Structure 1
Amino acid sequence: MGIIVNLDVMMAKRKKGLTELSQEVDITMANLSILKNNKAKAVRFSTLEAICEALDCQPGDILCYVKDDGKGDGAE
């Protein structure tokens, strides 16, 4: 599995919508949605910092590592 993005969880905890967070972080809603839906291949530290600032959280509240069980289903 690798790195999992739990941005949607933190947004719900902080009661912030996509539009509001997008404006606060100065990132397009499309790019924020890609990150929120765990489709991003990378994230800039400056973006992660801005998200943490806006949501008053730590990077570990948003990102977590899940070890790959090696049974992959062939899908990417």
Structure 2
Amino acid sequence: MNAMIERLIAAHRLINREIRRELQRRLPDSLRLTQLKKRRLAIKDRLFRHYPDAAQFRRAARIALRRLHPALQEG
């Protein structure tokens, strides 16, 4: 798999974590959430340019995640 794809998937996961963290705050910052969601969508768009087929994208994402987290190979 292309290293760029792996970096994009890692960035997408990081932004997802930031969004979840922001939503768990007592008073989430709606502007920050909007910016994070726009960044996440931009990354997703870049990923889908390389993998327009959703099934193919999911397979590539699983491979990348296994490389990033070897413990996930068991599941």
TM norm structure 2: 0.28
Higher relative contact order (CA 8 A, sep 6+): 1
**Structure possessing the higher radius of gyration over alpha carbons:** 2
The structure carrying a bigger helix percent of its residues is 2
